[in-house]
Amino acid sequence: MKQYVIDELRPADHGKIKAYLEAQFGPAEMGGIYWIPVEPSLHSETQASHAACHPLFFALELSETALTAELLVRTKNRIRCDCICYATEDQFLWLTRVMDAIFERLEIKT
C-alpha cells in the first residue's frame, strides 16, 4: 500500500492531533482511522462521474507515534469500483498540504 507518513510524534503532539481530527472530521473509526473528504474539484473524470460513490475519502490513521495517510482514494459506499484508485498527482499534493497544514496550525514541528 502506498502511504504518506509523518512519524516520531511525541505524546503531547498525538493528543493535539487527535483532538483536531475529531473536531474537523468526527470521531475515529476502527482504531484511529479518520476519513478526510477529497476536495470534489480534484476528482478524476471517472470519480466525478460516479455520483453514487460520493463522497470520496482518504483514510488517515493516527497511532501513538505517527500519522499515516493511505494514498488510495476510497468511498464508503462500495468495496470495489473504478473510482477507487490511487491518488492522482493533484490529489496527492492536496492531501500532503492538508496534513502539513494540520501540523502548522497545531504548531507541531516535524
Supply 91's cell numbers: 490529489
The pLDDT value given to residue 30? 84
Cβ partners under 8 Å of residue 77, min gap 6: 52, 53, 54
Residues 74-97 have a mean pLDDT of: 94
Query: Which of 8-12, 48-52, 72-76, 106-110 has the weakest average pLDDT?
Result: 106-110
Residues 74-93 have a mean pLDDT of: 93
Query: What pTM value is reported for the model?
Result: 0.90
Supply 38's cell numbers: 477529497
The pLDDT value given to residue 1? 84
Phi, psi of 75 (to 5 degrees): -125, 150
